[in-house]
Chains A and B, each alone.
Chain A
């Protein structure tokens, strides 16, 4: 365990970004006022589209980019002026960055050698690290002689072999094929659970983020849009960007007509009146975007079973095995998607047929209209 930080600061905070700003050219801020606390042992993912500032944050934490303003703390110690090699942070790079002129063993021994650890100890640690990633027989090979997945494991082992308390991962699974990527997600997750290290993970792949993380920080435009657990992020997006970015989402535009008891009444552009949970709408008269998950919508429900039922027309049916993806025109939107589960006695629909759709009020969230 790390030494307990005494005094007033909270000892369970491992990394703290405090009003961090970053600009490369002095004109545009790529990171605007970032405040983020990362707890010890947490698996935090920075998720966002490319250019959202997530990788820049990681690079500032690793020490490869200086923060333009603000301060980053590592276990209560400000590290803006600490060079990268003194930060003791393990890092896994997008292309693994395994040294091509060294064998796997030499790659793993490198961080130990530069720390002047005795030879015998290095050998033992390298062996243990290789066993951890289940590659004990591959020590003498060159990185080029390994498959993508094996290289990935070596990269993880190298970032962990010197026992850092914080490990950064910059889209480490981006180069792998889908199946391998999913397998590696679990392996990284298990390594994290077993070792108890803090992991800061950067990705643009939301399913990766949802699978692995304790918390996810969704980045857009240099700002954290939402910082929540995977479940919250999916179920309770706080703004329209997050709703759109995480998972599949149906949008219906409308105008707020009334707000009471935590429920707002919204008049759709088609004139239908529906109910939704107000998230970031201020009051009546405001434009809003309603967010509805495709799996929370019923087609042709019993008229009395749901509070919100509006008409639509079936445009397209796509058979996907476990569910039938149904595209409808609803309230002027042609891309309203409903997932109809392929279960006993499900709705048999025809393209061009009129249908009604319905949802429970708590599944519909009234968000800002971008």
Chain B
């Protein structure tokens, strides 16, 4: 449009000196842009190193698993031409024996066997034992020699799995995390019933997080309302009570819940003493899902109260008064005029609590018992105990994208712009 209204030469506006205006503007603002960039650079680098890089690493680890393929690289090559029906032909066996010897020599057989064992449970010892005896095999026919060491090598299914596992990239960890697996032909099938643990655990994590979120709303709303409406002197005191948990160690808070809720704990003792329940009927409130929900609700409550409070503080009392003067009862005025205006706070608090709850670890580990464990406890287990980092990474990645998906859904339904964090 500038071309038609302003007479210009060479397209675009120019300064008096004849330099294009855009270029001159960029030159003039370069300095301040650079300065702004320098200011955020330290934080940017920190985030890159401590947040983005680990996430990329995790994502990679969840699909990249080169250990087995590297140890059995000759076998992998020889298996290329295998039809997958009968046992492989002699060159494969020869390559396999050579790989075994090498893996034994440079001590990679243990790792490779462990990796294989994730996919085909109970095969670790098959590899390690065979490796120990393989040096006796000097010359062909290799097939018979290997089968002599262990008959199990004569199972074509096993070779199917070996072929799968030589690929450096695999979706196996994700399948495992979703209680699925490849069969020996490479088709996806469900894990046997007893080994289906992750999907039910994901559902339980979602359910318990929702429960924690709901109880935080129910308990936090009245507290935030009080905080926002009491005289400043009293509300400051209340605020300290709300913030006190923040300043106490997470462990101390969790263990005090154990003291309160366990079978021989304060609450059960009191109920028995009052006579509401008999000594045999003591309530099981600890080391199960109930304990997890109670303790986590307590710990996450401030994250609900604070955004709610900050939103309620801005709602002027004249709105409710206006509703009352227009003929609304106290309840109608509250429900139709006050509550809708607190929704940005409810939304912010809910998403905070929910996302924190979904990845919670210490509390469920301490008070969850069997039925109160969350998915993060299993991630920790695979990180620290079973050392199946690929599976841990796959579980974490699913969790991460689950949270992102929920955030997206929340944005579609409520709108992130409507959220007020304080």
Contact = CB atoms under 8 A, between A and B. Distances in A.
Interface in B315-352: 316, 318-319, 321-330, 332-333, 336-337, 340-341, 343
A300 B325 CA distance: 58
A239 to B, nearest CB: 34
Contacts of B324: 63-64, 83-85
B324 to A, nearest CB: 4
B318 A94 contact: yes
Given A97-B319, A97-B322, A85 B328 contact: yes
Interface string A139-179: 00000000000000000001100100000100000000000
B227 to A, nearest CB: 22
B327 A100 contact: no
Interface stretch (A108-116, A322-330, A354-362): A108-116
Nearest to A167: B325
A111 B326 contact: yes
A63 B324 CA distance: 9
Contacts of B322: 91, 93, 97-99
B318 A85 contact: no
A87 B330 CA distance: 14
Contacts of B337: 99
Nearest to A110: B326
Contact of A97 (B318, B329, B330): B318
Contacts of B343: 101
A162 B318 contact: no
A97 B321 CA distance: 9
B341 A85 contact: no
A84 B341 contact: no
A114 B318 contact: no
Interface residues of B, number: 20
A91 B327 CA distance: 11
A90 interface: yes
A194 to B, nearest CB: 21
A34 to B, nearest CB: 21
Nearest to B339: A101
A266 to B, nearest CB: 49
B332 A95 contact: no
A91 B325 contact: yes
B325 A89 contact: yes
A140 B329 CA distance: 26
A62 interface: yes
B351 to A, nearest CB: 19
A311 interface: no
A88 interface: yes
B341 A114 contact: no
A114 B328 contact: yes
Interface string B187-230: 00000000000000000000000000000000000000000000
A12 to B, nearest CB: 24
B319 A99 contact: yes
> What DSSP secondary structure best describes chain B's contact surface?
helix
A88 to B, nearest CB: 7
A101 to B, nearest CB: 4
Contacts of B340: 99, 101
A101 B329 CA distance: 19
B401 to A, nearest CB: 33
Interface centre among B319, B323, B327, B332 (most CB of A within 10 A): B327
Contacts of A97: 316, 318-319, 321-322
Contact of A88 (B327, B329, B332): B327
B327 A114 contact: yes
Contacts of B341: 99-101
A64 B316 contact: no
A93 B316 CA distance: 11
B327 A85 contact: yes
Contacts of B329: 85, 114
A111 B327 contact: yes
A159 B321 CA distance: 12
Nearest to B344: A101
A100 B343 CA distance: 12
A98 B329 CA distance: 17
B309 to A, nearest CB: 19
B347 to A, nearest CB: 13
A64 B328 CA distance: 13
A114 B324 CA distance: 10
Contact of A84 (B318, B319, B325): B325
Nearest to B321: A64
A110 B318 contact: no
Contacts of A114: 326-329, 332
Contacts of A87: 325
Given A100-B341, A101-B340, A158 B318 contact: no
A158 B316 contact: no
A93 B336 CA distance: 19
Interface string A21-55: 00000000000000000000000000000000000
Contacts of A91: 321-322, 325-326
Given A100-B341, A114-B332, A90 B318 contact: no
A63 B326 CA distance: 12
A110 B333 CA distance: 10
25 contacts: A62-B321, A62-B325, A64-B324, A83-B324, A84-B321, A85-B326, A85-B330, A90-B325, A91-B322, A91-B326, A93-B321, A97-B319, A98-B322, A99-B322, A99-B323, A99-B341, A100-B341, A101-B341, A110-B323, A110-B336, A111-B326, A114-B328, A114-B332, A115-B327, A162-B327
Given A97-B316, A99-B319, A159-B325, 6 more contacts: A83-B324, A85-B328, A91-B321, A95-B316, A97-B319, A110-B326
